[in-house]
Structure 1
Amino acid sequence: MNNLNQQKDRTSLPYSVWPVEAIAGLEREGADSQGITLFELMLRAGEAAFSLIRQLWPQAQHWMILCGYGNNGGDGFVIARLAQAAGLKVTLIAVDSDRALPEEANQARENWLAAGGVIHDASARWPESIALIVDALLGTGLNRSPDEPYTQLIEQANRHSAPVFSVDIPSGLVAANGTVPGVVIDAEHTLTFIALKPGLLTGKARDHVGKLHYHSLNLDLWLQGRPAPIARYDASHLTRWLPPRRATSHKGDHGRLLVIGGDHGTAGAIRMTAEAALRSGSGLVRVLTHIENVGPLLTARPELMVQELTTEALDAALEWADVIVIGPGLGQGSWGKKALKKVENSQKTMLWDADALNLLAISPDKRQNRIITPHPGEAARLLNVKVSDIESDRLLAVRRLAKRYGGVVVLKGAGTLIAGELDELAIADVGNAGMASGGMGDVLSGVIGSLAGQKLSLYDAACAGCVAHGAAADAVAQRRGTRGMLATDLFSELYLFVNPEISNTKE
């Protein structure tokens, strides 16, 4: 199934995300709130999965169910019993089937055996007639590479022509952060229970989760009273940040944005940032750049105010501006360093990106009036670690960045993360592979900077900017696909998302 189509309809998913270490407590408290046992909660999970599988593949008559040692495997035993009772052929393979299981999983296994079910070990030969594979091998507790025989079963499932349905999370994907330390199931559909886990939404998740489904196990009302520590945002949230403008508003009401950058040969970066700000609703945008860029920028986009970056021009512009964006095309030479040194002294709202971040990594400081927007390479330099360290735990990395540098941090990538120093954390559940091209970050800086100038808080500007930017890219991809997408292609769709009352009408 196409990844873009899998991402299209996620409105059925909750907008709260819970860290993995909280899940066991949620399960216990949720069961207690309804006066049921954890085994009865497992039965609900198995029934929900069975029902969804039947909807997705009504013609599949032979199911291969892979059960691990744990409660994820227990869900698999419940699914197997229900499928067999429905007249379907079931082949069940269980890892460590002779070992004592956790209480709930053991009860599910005993019920399967009592119903006449058969358990095969991991070395069993797979029948040729399998039409569907149910992955119930490894659940949300995984934090390392799977061992044998899990590795063998995962690889065999991935090689098989039958579609794979994962219970709670694809086996091998780390629920805490979306990393893949070893082999991992490539699911076509995944059904998760009770709460969304971060690893389903960020990191490598989109490569393996397929279409994500959710079931509360009938704990909806109880969950509504419990605020989650992580938010999931998509285009449906833009109305909360971007209400329609007053009919009598004027350009001065919508922010004076100063954009600084564009050294020799990098006029494109600063032009994209500045135009993105205009396209996102800034009232006035002034660009300070290298003198060779002034003419081309004014010709390309006459709505911009463009000047050579000099000490005098910078002093005046800093006094004039409501918000400052610095970094795109800035370079790391003396020209850029001098500009950044002066900007550092301003107390106005600012956004640092690109070379401003590389210079910040050399001379770190902490401030509350700044948004920083690193990609994983820049984040690694800011934390003095390897890129692999960033990608091995994106949630930890974004929290460390917020603590070290203050303000608000946007860690870009699949499942962009936004963190504030006061423990705010959100996942922007938008975007697609077409955004892996030059200039996308420059456009994002302009969008966020513009929204900050329109009187959003730093955190809200970062969240709304990431969502509008990613949603515009999704709209482009829906029309034209992901390969060959340009950063400036987003301008044709961005207006829909910074004016959400229009996009809601169109829908």
Structure 2
Amino acid sequence: MTDRANTFSLQSLSHSVYGAQWLREWESQGAGLASVSLYQLMQRAGTAAFQRILWLYPGAHRWLVLAGHGNNGGDGYVVAQLAAAAGKQVTVLACGGSSPLPAEAEQAKAAWLAAGGEIHAAEEPWPQGVEVIIDALLGTGLKAAPRDPYCSLIAAANRHSAPVIALDIPSGLLAETGATPGEVMSAAHTVTFIALKPGLLTGKARSVTGHVHYDDLGLGKWLERETPLMARLSAELLPRWLPERDPCAHKGDNGRLLIVGGDHGFAGAIRMTGEAALRCGAGLVRVLTREENIPPLLTARPELMVAPLTRDTLQQGLEWADVVVIGPGLGQDSWGKNALREVENCDRPMLWDADALNLLAFNPEKRHNRIITPHPGEAARLLNGNVGAIESDRLLAARKLVRRYGGVVVLKGAGTLLAAEDGAVAIADVGNAGMASGGMGDVLSGIIGSLLAQKLSLYDAACAGCVVHGATADRLAAEKGTRGMLATDLLPALYLYVNPELTA
């Protein structure tokens, strides 16, 4: 038996993401416009999942379907019937419920029984030799931790050696937020239907969805008429933001970027930010830092202009710069506080990161010309909350941050979220576990600052910068793996994605 991971699945994913609750409320309208009943839509979903499972695991003969008491279970019954008709040995374990099954799920269940299928109780022993497990337990309507018998079935599936294919969403993963309040299915593949939901792309999603596959079930034209909840960002979109340069451009056309930071012991942070900015195309990059940092920075990257941070050099730098980045290695002592106080009223486009955000949390103020790039810990401080609350609903946290602080927010993490004051929201569907190491945020600040200097808007620079950052790391991970990836490993490879014609 082979698992042929669908390497083209990400390329086929939609760039629009819709709310799960909205989709549940309106999918009947979409089905009506497509002239199909909800049961026919369920048959389409089951067929799409069956075909993908058959493609992924052509040698698997013994299939186990775990069916819940809802429409997700109905999808499972359709898969079971198709698999049995194809000669597979299929066992269905189903969870009961106090209320009747939804009408279309009841039809799917009846069709399975009429075809000679059997339904076993969830508590019954599992058959021997199961080769694939189909998770049709809990769908996108889940809002809290699963309870037994669902918990027990999820835990048993996670212990089993057979791969799990989740229908629509792994059971236990919340479709709106990507949170996992309790037991959650760990799937090798997820086949999602009609539209992408935010919970498939952020929060804990990457730990449990496996490869995500998508089928709009013929409702694509209907969805195009509706406004998505957010955009999904990927490397395919980079040409939108980064066209080829004018052959006659000079360094002044590519922007003057001022970077402030690098307190005692943090020269590395400011160096990574500065080099990332150069590597991404800023015309001129000036760094203001501790005097002791100047020789190593110029030795490592002579293209940088480096000077000691004083009140005079900062005022000169602010007058010179088109864009300001402050925070990497800034520290929270008087040296950093004084610099931030001078910068905070600058009318240029700005990016605040790291200790600039920790200092901002003590003196919250709203600005419209600024990008902030908090990780969950910094976001918790900015919102006077805790990391658990941030991670339980990352989209809500991003929206709260932009309401309180203005400009554009980049809430970093697995499935980085971006939010703007005008209501635009996006999710960066790039990046990997190798990025969980020191310095990655400093590199991101340099990338975004560089794109701001090249005259992208706050929001576009943030979106393009997150994609460049994550896509570069993904390329390195594919070549060398995720363990041991350094932030500086990204620097020489950034040019591939800020020149998207090279990777087209």
Q: What is the TM-score with the length of structure 2 in the denominator?
A: 0.98
Please give the residue correspondences for 1:47-66 in structure 2 after superposition, counting only pairs within 5 Å. 47-66=47-66
| In the alignment, structure 1 residue 372 sits paired with structure 2 residue 385 | no
Aligned to 1:215: 215
1:158 aligns to 2:158 (yes or no): yes
The offset of 1:119, in angstroms, is 1.0
| 1:9 CA displacement | 4.9
Is residue 409 of structure 2 the alignment partner of residue 416 of structure 1?
Answer: no
Q: What residue in structure 1 maps to residue 468 of structure 2? A: 468
Instruction: Summarize deviations over 1:341-386 as a string: whole Å, max 9, x none.
Output: 0101111100000000000000000010000000000000000001
Q: Residue by residue, what CA displacement relative to the aligned partner does 1:256-293 show, whole Å, maximum 9, x if unpaired?
A: 00000011111000010011000000000000101111
Report if the CA contact (8 A) 1:6-1:210 is conserved: no
Which runs of 5 or more residues in structure 1 are unaligned?
A: none
Q: Which residue of the partner structure matches residue 323 of structure 1? A: 323
Give, in whole Å, the separation in 2 of the partners of 1:154 and 1:345.
53
Distance in structure 1 (CA, Å) of the matches to 2:7 and 2:439: 23
> Which residue of the partner structure matches residue 72 of structure 1?
72
Partner of 2:493: 493
1:92 lines up with 2:70 in the alignment: no
Q: Map 1:171-210 to 2 at 5 A.
A: 171-210=171-210
Is the 2:6–2:56 contact (alpha carbons within 8 Å) kept by the matching residues of 1?
no
* Contact 2:34–2:218 (8 Å) recurs in 1: no
> Identity rate of aligned residues, in percent?
63
Corresponding residue for residue 278 of structure 1: 278
Q: Does 1:248 align with 2:248?
A: yes
Q: Distance in 1 between matches of 2:137 and 2:229?
A: 28
Q: Name the SS of the counterpart of 1:11 in structure 2.
A: helix
Residue in 1 that maps onto 2:33: 33
CA contact (8 A) 1:70 1:105 kept: yes
Q: Compute the displacement of 1:6 (Å).
A: 7.2
Deviation (angstroms), 1:25: 3.1
Contact kept in structure 2, 1:97 and 1:119, CA below 8 Å: no
The answer to which of 472-481 and 253-262 deviates more is: 472-481
Is the partner of 1:468 in helix, strand or coil?
Answer: helix
In the other structure, the counterpart of 1:396 is: 396
Distance 1:353 1:117 in 2: 59
> Does the 8 A contact of 1:231 with 1:427 survive in 2?
yes
Distance 2:162 2:264 in 1: 54
Query: What does residue 435 of structure 1 align with?
Result: 435
Separation (CA, whole Å) in 2 of partners of 1:107 and 1:8: 34
Per-residue CA deviations over 1:418-443 (Å, capped at 9, x if unaligned) read 11011111011110100000000000
Shift of 1:79: 1.1
- Counterparts of 2:137 and 2:262, CA distance in 1: 52
Kindly provide the amino acid, as one letter, of the partner of residue 149 in structure 1. Answer: P
The answer to whether the Cα contact below 8 Å between 2:70 and 2:102 also exists between their aligned partners in 1 is: yes
What is the CA–CA distance in structure 1 between the aligned matches of 2:295 and 2:131, rounded to whole Å?
64
Q: Which amino acid aligns with 2:475?
A: A
User: How much has 1:26 moved relative to structure 2?
Assistant: 3.7
* Distance in 2 separating the partners of 1:55 and 1:8: 13
Post-superposition Cα deviations, 1:187-225, rounded to whole Å, max 9, x if no partner, equal 111100000001111111111101100001012222223
Deviation, 1:173, is 0.7
What TM-score does the superposition give when structure 1 sets the normalisation length?
Answer: 0.97
Aligned length: 502
The CA RMSD measured in Å over matched residues stands at 1.5
Q: Deviation of residue 295 (structure 1)? A: 1.6
Q: Where does residue 264 of structure 1 map in the other structure?
A: 264
Moved more, 288-297 or 248-257: 288-297
Offset of residue 458 of structure 1 = 0.1
Q: State the alpha-carbon separation in 1 of the partners of residues 359 and 246 from structure 2.
A: 40
**Match for 1:183: what amino acid?**
E
2:306 corresponds to which residue?
306
Residue 252 of structure 1, CA deviation: 0.3
